[in-house]
Homo-oligomer: A and B are copies of this chain.
Amino acid sequence: MKTVWLNEMSWTDVEGYLKKNDIILVPVGSTEEHGPAAPLGLDTYVAIAMAEDAARETGVLCTPPIWFGDSTHHLAFPGTISIKTEILTEYVKDVLRSLARHGFKKIILVNGHKGVNLSALHSATRNVKEFEYQDIFFAVIDPLKIGAEAAKVRKTKEHHAGELEISQILYKYPHLVQKTKLRKEEPDFERRFSKYMKSDLFEGGISIDIPWSSKEQREFTRSGAMSDATKASRRKGETYHNRMVKEMVEFIRWLKRKKA
């Protein structure tokens, strides 16, 4: 297979693929501010890179990416493009339905936009599965969960536009990071949201979910970032990224062996 990208193949190529295989990855990202140094498309680049690398390794296909996700709280920063949860849900459902109709039996959403897209992605997969395609295997891969071990490479608290995700972009798309603009910015979440709000996304423990608005976000972070990204490095990105891809590869291999 010369490419893993469905969009680069013709329909007869896909037809050929489906004779032997039934797995496809769908990269879902966002276009939202990631501080003054990192590109607005960061989450989508993460989804693309993770999907592509895992697909290459396992010989499976990827659809083209969904560039716009659920980013309401970032809307006070120019360039952020956000799709409301219920609309993103419906958009993703139609992608799943199209793939299911062609005979893809195992469909994996690869979410580059940690956490926040999950309302839409869980709702889409759970409801399409129950009410339309009971026999399709759906999965949602998210760095917050697949990266539980990989994240240990960080030295600082990881939050939005933090050490880990900046490192990952430095590794895969170094030209897109304006390194001189990387900052340490650590909002005082506890004062605003109580001790039940985590300032590190990978940290376990007791917590309560508290949404904030774009207006509030603009108030508590001047730069749009919420971590110390000055510790980011290409090396850490390599470690973090590759470990997550390794887990994905292991999962996809298991899936290939699994009978439908």
Contact = CB atoms under 8 A, between A and B. Distances in A.
B91 A83 contact: yes
B210 A138 contact: yes
Interface residues of A, number: 104
Interface string A113-129: 00000111011011101
B31 A196 contact: no
A102 B78 contact: yes
A35 B7 contact: no
Interface in A9-62: 9-15, 18, 31, 33-41, 44-45
A209 to B, nearest CB: 4
A141 B197 CA distance: 12
Contact of A145 (B72, B90, B206): B206
A142 interface: yes
Given A36-B11, A87-B90, A208-B146, A98 B78 contact: no
10 contacts: A5-B41, A8-B176, A10-B79, A81-B98, A82-B94, A87-B91, A88-B91, A141-B208, A145-B208, A194-B254
Which 3 residue pairs spanning A and B have beta carbons closest together?
A: A7-B41, A14-B79, A11-B33
Given A122-B209, A140-B210, 13 more contacts: A5-B41, A8-B39, A11-B35, A11-B80, A14-B40, A14-B79, A31-B64, A63-B81, A72-B127, A80-B102, A85-B89, A147-B206, A148-B206
Interface of A: 5-15, 18, 31, 33-41, 44-45, 63-68, 72-73, 75, 77-91, 93-95, 98-99, 101-103, 118-120, 122-123, 125-127, 129-131, 134, 137-142, 145-149, 176, 178, 181, 194-196, 204-216, 224, 247, 251, 254-255, 258
